[in-house]
Amino acid sequence: MNKTTPSFILNGSPQEFVLAVILTTVLGIAIASYLYFGRPNTDTGIHSLGGLSFLNAWRFFTTRHDFLRESFHRTNQRPFEFSLFQLNARKLFFHEKSLNLNKGYAILLGGGPKLADINVNNQGSDEEALFPLLLSDIEKITRTWGPEGTIDPFTEVYKLVFQVTVRMATCRELADDPAEVSQLFDLYSTLEKSSTAAALLLPWFPSPARKAKTKATAELFKKLCSYVEVRRNATVPSNDAIDVLLAQFILAEGVSTNTIVGFVLSTIFAGVVNSGMSVGWALIYLGMNAVWKAKATAEVRALLSRHGTSPSDPLHKQFASIPVSAWDEEMPVADAVIRETLRLAMSGLAIRRNLENDIALGGHTVARGDFLTYWVSEIHFDPSVYPDPFSFDPGRYDVGREEDKRVPLAYLGWGAGRHVCAGMRLAKLEMKLVTALFLAGFEYEPVDGKGQPLTAVPQIDRNDIQRVRGDIVLNLVGDNDAA
Ligand code: HEM
């Protein structure tokens, strides 16, 4: 998976060169003017970072983690603002009703598909029918990997998660066609990569990224529209997601194909980025921690022996007979591993926009229309809440330790307050299925690009919005005997 850091200087196209020159000039002016402009804003009382707002915004979009960390230090941990954003207190941020999530993220998505208000938990018994198909998808892809060789967790596992998400969010005409899924994946990757700082901050600028994004969005819509039409005209209804959506929307007095496509796209976007990255990291953390890997593998074996079919059946068949409720309720080790992986990996930003009245905040004012962002690292890596915060330790959540309950809103891996993740149950199930098939099907160890075992647990590059690493692969050293 490529990073989305802007590539305008390296690519060297004429437009990007001009942009680079402009930025270099702006940088010089900004350094000179910085000391003059950093001061409290007399209207709101919030400390203004000063400098050129464009540069602050640029750093916000490119090296966000470093920008926020340094700004916090400079302002002595006070709320601060720069032209586009203001930082805020955790409780207000997650509970205030006038703070809108979708309008907040719109600034990062830059006019691309947006999160829709879905609730996958309402899908009821459809998930039981979907289950064997999901497992068969996972099995088909993992079979192409092994039993020996290397895989990049952030491309191969990501593609696997993409397939599973397409299966859950669309219909089998599409999910059963590997060439179509692969094309969809390429379009989706183009969209992801084109959310560069240049494309977001200069939407009028005809950069290659901007053009690629417009083209990919149109093609994605076209492709998905054709599948919605296939299902709309089908004579025999199914329980696939598009059919379920069609049925629900028809009951709600009809809806356009575009609305359903928007819905499906949003689900894929909400699902793939976080789930793909999280499964990759969970496998790396487990691969680096023999104790937790053994516990997780033992839990999967116990689940199979309680609910699985004959051990001589293919793995996906054995797993398919495990009821969804058992995946939900009988995997405390996997739950702790997922929770800890997300504490470490989901440590970026939450964003809101104040759509209603001005909000008073400790003598300051957050005006209507302002964007607010909360830096999740502030709590996820607070050593007074999570001792040794950068180490992978799923035991922190055990009864008796319960570090995530030490202060209110200490854990934000799935969001909190008014915007808890609508896909949490589905995402957890997806993460458990992929890791369980992996642990039961392979023996593996994480290695570096040269095939050497890693000497230390790798750290996540927190400036990288996608949180991926291109320098770690999983070395598959054969079938796990649980298979
Ligand atoms: C490991 C995978 C996932 C993680 C870690 C995750 C995490 C989150 C977090 C932290 C939020 C809150 C964001 C905020 O407060 O600004 C959120 C919101 C949301 N997530 Fe997820 N998510 C995952 C997968 C999914 C999936 C698979 C779906 C859909 C199928 C989904 C749908 C949503 C939606 C619709 C919201 C917005 C809820 C609202 O507006 O109240 N997520 N997610």
Is the distance from the beta carbon of residue 275 to the nearest atom of ligand 1 less than 6 Å?
Answer: yes
Looking at ligand 1, which residue's alpha carbon is closest to its atom 12? 415
> What's the 234 CA to ligand 1 centre distance in angstroms?
32
Judge if the beta carbon of residue 423 lies within 6 A of ligand 1. Answer: yes
3-state helix, strand and coil shares in percent for the chain, rounded to the nearest 5: 55, 10, 35
The terminus-to-terminus CA distance of the chain in angstroms comes to 29
- Residue 272: the pLDDT is 83
ipTM of the complex model: 0.98
Binding site membership of 166 for ligand 1 (Cβ less than 6 Å): no
Is the distance from CB of 439 to CB of 297 less than 8 angstroms?
yes
Buried b (16+ CB within 10 A) or exposed e, 100-121: bbbbbbbbebbebbbbbebebe
Domain membership of residue 276 as a residue range: 120-479
Answer yes or no: is the C-beta of 270 below 6 A from any ligand 1 atom.
yes
Contact 377, 65 (CB under 8 A): yes
In short, whether 52's Cβ falls inside 6 Å of ligand 1 is: no
Residue 45, sorted as left (phi over 0), alpha (psi -120 to 50) or beta, turns out to be: left
CA-closest candidate to residue 113, choices 270, 225, 252, 228:
270
Annotated binding site for heme: 421
Ligand 1 lined by 421 (C-beta under 6 Å): yes
Q: Is 110 inside a domain boundary? A: no
pLDDT at 24: 58
User: How far away, in angstroms, is 67 Cα from ligand 1 center?
Assistant: 24
Regarding the beta carbon of 434 and ligand 1, being less than 6 Å apart is answered no
The model's pLDDT over 134-170, given as tens digits with 9 standing for 90+, comes to: 889 998 898 888 778 889 998 898 899 999 999 988 9
pLDDT at 104: 59
Residue 328, token pair as written in the block: 């939900």
Ligand 1, atom 22, residue with closest C-alpha = 421
Task: Say yes or no: CB of residue 62 within 6 Å of ligand 1.
Answer: no
Residue 417 CB–ligand 1 contact under 6 Å:
no
Amino acid at 356: E
Q: How far apart are CA 268 and CA 276, in angstroms?
A: 11
Rounded to the nearest 5°, which phi and psi values hold at 163? -60, -45
CA 129 remoteness from chain centre? 26
CA-CA distances (angstroms) from residue 58 to 66, 290, 312? 12, 41, 56
Residue 153: exposure state from Cβ atoms within 10 A (0-12, 13-18, ≥19): buried
**Where are the strands (E) in 10-75, listed by range?**
39-40, 47-48
198 lines ligand 1 (CB under 6 A): no
C-beta of 350 in contact with ligand 1 (< 6 A): yes
Q: Residue 116 CA: which ligand 1 atom is closest?
A: 35
User: Which protein residue has the closest C-alpha to ligand 1 atom 7?
Assistant: 414
Tens-of-pLDDT digits for all 483 residues of the chain? 333 322 222 334 555 555 555 555 555 555 544 544 445 555 555 666 655 555 666 666 667 677 777 777 766 666 666 544 334 467 777 887 778 776 655 554 444 433 333 333 333 445 566 788 888 999 889 888 877 888 999 889 889 999 999 998 899 999 999 999 999 999 988 887 776 666 665 666 667 777 888 888 889 889 999 999 999 899 988 888 898 888 876 655 556 777 788 888 888 887 788 888 999 999 999 999 999 999 999 999 999 999 988 888 888 889 989 998 999 999 999 999 999 999 999 888 888 888 888 888 766 778 888 878 888 998 999 999 999 999 999 999 999 999 999 999 999 999 999 888 888 988 899 899 999 988 998 899 999 988 899 989 988 887 776 777 778 889 988 766 544
The per-residue pLDDT for range 291-349, each reduced to its tens digit, is 999 999 999 999 999 998 888 888 888 998 999 899 999 999 999 999 999 999 988 88
Is residue 34 in a domain?
Answer: no
Atom of ligand 1 nearest to the CA of 346: 5
Cβ(414) to ligand 1 under 6 A? yes
Any ligand 1 atom below 6 A from CB of 161? no
Instruction: Identify the residue whose C-alpha is closest to ligand 1 atom 2.
Output: 275
Q: What pLDDT is stored for residue 428 in this prediction? A: 93
Query: At a CB cut-off of 8 Å and minimum separation 6, what does 218 contact?
Result: none
User: Which residues have C-beta within 8 Å of that of residue 18, sequence separation ≥ 6?
Assistant: none
For ligand 1, the distance from its centroid to the CA atom of residue 419, given in whole angstroms, is 8
Tokens 């969005």, residue located = 217
Q: Coil, strand or helix: which one is 148?
A: strand
Residue 115 lies in a domain: no
Q: 124 CA to middle of ligand 1, Å?
A: 19
CA 101 to chain centroid: 15
The reply to whether ligand 1 has any atom less than 6 angstroms from the CB of 376 is no
Look at residue 223 in the predicted model and tell me its pLDDT: 93
Show binding-site residues: 421
**How far apart are alpha carbons 46 and 97 in whole angstroms?**
21
Provide the domain count of the chain.
1
- How far is ligand 1, taken at its centre, from the CA of residue 267, in Å? 9
Q: Positive or negative, the Cα torsion across 459, 464, 466, 468? A: negative
User: Looking at residue 305, what is its pLDDT?
Assistant: 94
Q: Cα-flanking dihedrals φ and ψ of residue 85, to 5°?
A: -135, 160
51, 80 Cβ separation under 8 angstroms: no
pLDDT of residue 88: 44
Structural domain contains residue 86: no
In a domain, 466, yes or no: yes
Do residues 367 and 361 touch, judged by C-beta distance below 8 A?
no
Residue 446 counted as domain residue: yes
Q: Where are the alpha helices (DSSP H) in 314-407?
A: 315-320, 324-329, 332-345, 377-380
pLDDT value at residue 10: 31
**Non-local CB neighbours of 7 within 8 Å, separated by 6+ positions:** 16, 196
Beta strands 371-375; 85-87: pairing state: parallel
* Cα–Cα distance for residue pair 128/81, rounded to 1 Å: 48
Number of H helices, E strands in the chain: 20, 12
Is residue 223 within 8 Å of residue 183, measured between CB atoms? yes
Q: How far is the CA of 189 from the centre of ligand 1 (A)?
A: 19
Phi and psi for 454 in degrees, rounded to 5? -75, 140
CA of residue 203 to ligand 1 center, whole Å: 26
- For ligand 1, atom 34, the nearest C-alpha belongs to 422
Q: In this structure, are residues 266 and 113 in contact, taking their beta carbons and an 8 Å threshold?
A: yes
- For residue 432, report the distance from its CA to the centre of ligand 1, in Å: 17
For position 460, which CATH number holds? 1.10.630.10
Is residue 74, in this structure, part of any structural domain at all? no
The Cα 413–Cα 381 span in angstroms is 12
The total of other beta-carbon atoms located within 10 Å of residue 322's CB is 22
pLDDT the model gives residue 365: 78
Cross-strand bridge partners of residue 239: none
Domain assignment present for residue 137? The answer is: yes
CA distance readout (Å), 87 to 18, 46, 57, 348, 429: 32, 9, 14, 13, 34
